[in-house]
Each structure stands twice: as structure tokens, then as C-alpha cells.
Structure 1
Amino acid sequence: MSKQILLTGHVLKTTGDPFADADAVQIHAGHGVLIEGNHIAATGPADRLRAQAPQAEVHDHANRLILPGFVDAHVHYPQTAIIASWGKRLIDWLNTYTFPEESRFGDTDYAARVSGDYLDLALAHGTTTMCSFATIHPASVDAFFEAAAARDMRVVAGKTCMDRNAPDTLRDTAQSAYDDSKALLTRWHGTGRAHYAITPRFSPTSTPEQLEALGALWAEHPDCLMQTHLSEQVDEIAWVRDLYPQARDYLDTYEARGLLGAHGVYGHAIHMEPREIDRLAEVGAAVVHCPTSNTFIGSGLMDLAGLAARGIAIGLATDTGGGSSFSMLRTMAAAYEIGQLRGTPLHARHLLWLATAGSARSLHLHDRIGTLAAGYEADICVLDLASTPAIAQRAANVSDIWEAVFATIMMGDDRAVAQVWVNGRVVT
């Protein structure tokens, strides 16, 4: 038998989608999570688990919250070094900051260093899984997967494909995008805890021919994810309309080329037409809410509640480095603030679900991570609900556990992350 480890404290229990059933996410005091090897063996009352596993190594977290490791559904790890660059609109931001930085990732050593830096920052903030864009350089994908494997993390990533409207140093071709992506997919998809995502950046930087080539690759490997951007800014949408005059809308630029499906993950999805929403719901695709990025770059306010009401899978993401923080706590706080501005405030249970099981569902990993239950992989985050003097004084004056959790969501940062477990091993 593998060594048993018991974590005790307040435990987040998830049985479904809180947008459909508010009782589907609960917090149980005096409960525990029993880890055996890489997986969760059991959850339940702490006393029962102590009796069940009397030899277990016990980590008593008292009034802390034990929850799944955060799942960040949309990031650009190569933008780590340019996070919080001064405010530009999307296209200017790409040209001024993103493209020059991404051009550096032809340097294998640089890609390896930034990969490690990014993953360590993510872990310090309680994030154990993310879905990342790389750059056009195959080495940038290899570096990320290698760094994640060294840390035993379950991650998703793919080579970013662009064959127009980008610097020469960042352009591939329709054929090389297909060939490189296929080679990387063959090498990495399903290797250890790695998953490959076919990754056209967005329609403005891909010709119809490149999108068609990637659509063909996805048809050959439908179990892979396909990640891209959709309807982030109004001027971007106007640009897409000019580039694809025959398209019915932005989504149609993907749909017409085989890039719409149940394993599609579409970042931002702010300014969508009714037909686009209908089609995403019909095919079972996912969208990703990137609230700190959407406010930082001035993109707009996503209608999260409206999309959730349609049953569309929704992930939550920092969108590093357009997003201004590596923290999923800060991202949850921004999602709450955007909900307030739209007149649809979110409860802490919705926010925690989006950052864990909801994001896992959007990445089709919900049967492995994002939930604390027997059989799930032991990727776990423990939050200190009194991590700073400001939060502690608020926590001393709450009427229930949800109020304490909400205070940490709104004011917390990496100081609130007391412990992180990856695949059954403590890392912070």
C-alpha cells in the first residue's frame, strides 16, 4: 500500500454546477481528504478518516480551506516577462509587447527558463493545471511540457500558429503549422500528464488556408483540444469582418474550416452574436472568462451569467500576460466585479467552482482534476483564510464560512496559499 496522507480542515465539496444547483458546492468543517499515492482515496468527516487510516501522516489545517488546485483555462506562458505592461488596446498591445517578446522563444534556453519561472509562479499562487499558448517555435512547446513534467503537473499546451499579420520572426505557413503541430501532438499528447491543444492564435493572424490545415489536423485527432480567441474586442471583430468578408460572424471563420466542436475552447467570447452563442451551445464547446485581461486591455464585460444559463461550459483564466495577475484569487475577484457591473453578482461558490471544477470541465479534464473526491488526482490547494492582518480582522467578524472565503477571494494573493499538492506530493 502507498503511503497515506490525511489533510484535515474545511473541505470544499463539489457535486455539480452551482449555476444550475446552488447546493452543488458546499464547504464542510471538520472534514478531511485522504491521499494514497497520486490519488484521493476518500473524503469525509476527519474523525472517520483518522479511524480508517490510523497510520496516515496527518496535516491538520484547522480553519483553513482545502480545495482542488486551481485550474487556469487560458494563459500565454511566453508573456510572463511582460505582464502588467502599460495599457494598450489589443492589437497595439500585441505589436508593442507580445510579438517582440515571443520572438525570443526561438532561443531554447530562454524558453526553458521562462517555462520554469511561469510554472513556479503559478504553483506559488495555488494553480496546478493550466492551458497555455506557446509561440510558433516548436521548442517553446517542448520547453513547457518538459518543465511541467519535471514538476509532475497536468497541463495543456500547443504551438501558436500564425502565417500573416505578424512579424516575419513569428510567421509559419499553413503546411508548417500542420506539420509542426502534428509532430508535437504525436510527441506529447497523453505522455505523462501532458495534453496537446491545436492552437491557431486567432483568425486575423491565420489565413483561411492555415485554419483549414489545422481543422484537418483536428479532424484527425478529435480527442485533442483546440484553443483560440473569439470576439475579444470590437475593433478586432471589425478587422475579422474585413479579412473574412464571406463569414457570417467571427465564429464562422473557425466553423467553416473545421474548427468548431465539443473540444473547442474559445478565449474571451465577450461581444458575440446570437448565432455564435447558439452554435457554441449546440456543439458543446467551451468559452473562457478572462476578467483581469478584459478590464486591463479594455475589452469589455463578458456575460458570464447569460452564457451559463445557456448551459455553455465556462472556464476561468488569468490570461497571463494580458491579464494583470498570476493569481486565480485576483481573477475570481475580477469576475465578481464584472458580474456586479452587469447586474449579475456571483456568490463565492460560483467563483470557486469556476476556478476548479468549471475550468476542468472546459478542458475536458473534469474526470481527473478539479474536484476533491475518491479516484481524482491529488492536486490540492490549501487556503489560509486569515493570511494578512486585513483579511484576518474581516475573518474574525464573519457570520459563516462563506463570508470568510469571500473575503480571501476579494483581498487574497499568494500569501493566502498555505500549501499546494501536485499529484500527491507537497510542493509548497
Structure 2
Amino acid sequence: MGSVVIPIPDGDQGCTHDIKQEKKFQASLSGIISFVQKNKDEIRKVIHAIKVGIALVLVSLVYFVDTFYKEVGDDNAMWAIMTVVVIFEFHAGATLSKGLYRGAGTVVGGGLGSLAAILGQLAGGIGNPVVVGVSLFIFGGAATYVRLNPNIKKKYDYGVMISILTFNLVSVSGLGGESVMEIARERFLMIVLGFAICICTSFFVFPMWASDELHDSTVSKFEGLASSIEGCIEKYFNEKEDQSVRPIASFKGCISVLNSKAKDESLVKFAKWEPPHGKFGLSHPWEKYQKIGETLRELAVTILSLEGSLNSPEQPLQALKESIKEPCEAAGSSLARTLRELGESIMKMRRCQPGASIAPDLKLARQELSQAMSTFKLGKLDNAEGFAIACFLFTLMGVVEKLENLSKEVEELGELAGFLQG
């Protein structure tokens, strides 16, 4: 009887195969993560588009429920779809605020419009269009004048506009002899239905929270400014004289911060409307984020002014720069480290210890710059070179002062928001 040889795989080969498979999986996973990070905004836009589609499908089901459709009619059912199209915004807080403003405007405009229509029907005959016309003129003109007020336009413009629209539609409906109160009731119910569908879809299907975006964008600003300071000092003391090695790329963080004011204001406004979720409670101090954003913009302006020192035609000789290089680099390192610590404090929602790390770093930066600005060093320079170096040093000292104010704002945010002790 012949022998049968059964090959037994080597244990090491099996292990190697598993390792290769694991490496392939890790490579694929890292590729997916990298793709998501690079295309995060586009993915969020796609998700928002899908959510709007879902809301439109749900609200359109009104047309397929015969009993409900016959009750409200074709004209009134359309108001639910219009509500979804008009109020569904990217952020959940924006959708909620716009929906509530639409509801308030509908109630005010519908109520006054019904009153005008009823008065017109009581007048009868030629008095009906006269009463309605006068009412339209008075209410439309008065509401439009109110809309021109800057404070009203900034906060309540949409609600006032909806009240004008609803007043016109409801009051004119009474001219045909229809039941004004019944029309107003049915249209209001359709608006409530559309609003409810928008809120449920926005809040429970991959919600886009304005508060999360505001929190994350605020944290990213600290890193951007820290990188700008490091890049600026590195370029200033670069031995190469070719201007092509001094791109403005190091100031991209500053420019981004300066352009963030409008976005921050809208995010703060929407975040106030959002319900408690995740790490944010009901009374989270969103206004403080806006104040921190303003302080960061002031700091960005000061850092951006260093660009003048980099591009100034009166550049000191490299040997003269070397005399202040060491203290300036130490100061820049302390400033960048402080910015990152403040940003990390907000990100982790933990109160930083100013006496343990922030204050010593800022004190060190101030001491290093004071040493560089000593009369012993600057007194040996001629006017043009001394002025160029002094401008650079005094601007850096201004960065220290702005950063001290910023650390106080972050500390106050930790107290108001109840950050945990670091």
C-alpha cells in the first residue's frame, strides 16, 4: 500500500499571510479615512441633499392619503411641500429657527388677514374689496417699514415677510365668499405638517449641528494662528535671500480667521436654537465663542502685520538678525505652544491651568523679546536696520499682549460652560 503525503502548511507562512491581509486592510482603511477627511464638506452636502429628498417624499405622501387629501384639498396640501422647500436648511438650528419664524409669521399674518376678510364680508358689496384693499395697504406698508429697521431685519426679517405674504393670501381669499377661518386653519395645519417633517428629518437623520461646527472651527483657528507664528519667524530668519522662499502660505491661517466673522455670527445664531445634544447643554455660552472669535481676529491682524517685516525693502543683514534669532525663536515657540494649549482646552472641554503653563509661557515670551529689544543690541544698529528689527520685535510684543487677552477669554469660557478641571 502506497503512502500518501499530505502537505502541512508552515505556521510562519500562515502568519505572514495574515500580516499581509492585515496590512492591506489597514491601507484600505487609511485610504477611506483620508478620502473622507479631504472630501468632508462634499460628503456633508450630499447627506443634506439626501435628507431634503427624504423630507419631500414624506410630505408628498399627503397626495396619496385619499381621506386626508380630500379634507385639505389640492391648494392647501401644496403649502406643506412649500414649507419643506423653504425652511429646510443645512444646519438643524437654522431649520428650527426658520420654521418657528414661519409659524409665528403665519399666525400673525393669518389672524390679521382673517380679521380683515371678515370685516370685508360684513361690509358686503362694494365695501368688501374696499376694506380688504385698505387693510392690505396699511398692513403691507407698516410691515415693510418695520422690515427696514436694522435690528428687525437682522433677526426677524423672514418672519415679517411671511406675515405679509400670509396676510395678503388670507385676506384676498375672503373676496370669493369662501370660509376664511376654514382656509386659514387648513393652511396652518399644512405648514405645521411640513415643519414637523423637516424637524424630524433634520434632527434624527445624520443631524448637522451648527454648535459642533462652531466648536470645531474655533479650535482649528488656534492651530492655524500657531502655525502662522512659527512659519513667520522661520522665514524671517531664513538665510536665503530669494523672495521665492518666502511665500505667504504661512499666513493662510490668519487670512482664514479674518474671513470667518460672518460664518461665526450665523453659527452662533443657529447654535442658540439647537436642543441639548452630545457635550453641549441647554445654556452653553455660545456668545463667548463669538467673543473669542473676535479676539482671534485681532490676534490674526497683529500676526499678519509681520508680513511687512518679511517683505520690507530695508532688510537687516543676516548677521544682525542672528543677534536676535535665539530669543525670537524661543518667544515664537512659547506663543505657538500657548495657542495650541488654549485650543486643546476648548477641544477637550477641560479648563487649562493658567498658572501652571499659560502664564509662564507668556512671561517667558515677554522676557525673551525684552532681551532682544535691549538698547545694548539695538543701539549698535544704524537707523534703517534698527527700525526694521524694532518693528518686527514690537509687533511680536503686540502678539504677546493679544494672547494674554485671549487666554482670559478662554478661561472665562471654561467657567461659564463648566469645563472640567484639566
Decide: shared fold, TM above 0.5.
Answer: no
Greater relative contact order, per chain length (Cα 8 Å cut-off, separation 6+): 1
The structure with the largest alpha-carbon Rg is: 2
TMscore range, shorter length: under 0.3
User: When the two structures are superposed, what TM-score results if normalisation uses the length of structure 2?
Assistant: 0.21
Instruction: Select the structure that is richer in helix.
Output: 2
User: When the two structures are superposed, what TM-score results if normalisation uses the length of structure 1?
Assistant: 0.21
Instruction: Select the structure that is richer in strand.
Output: 1
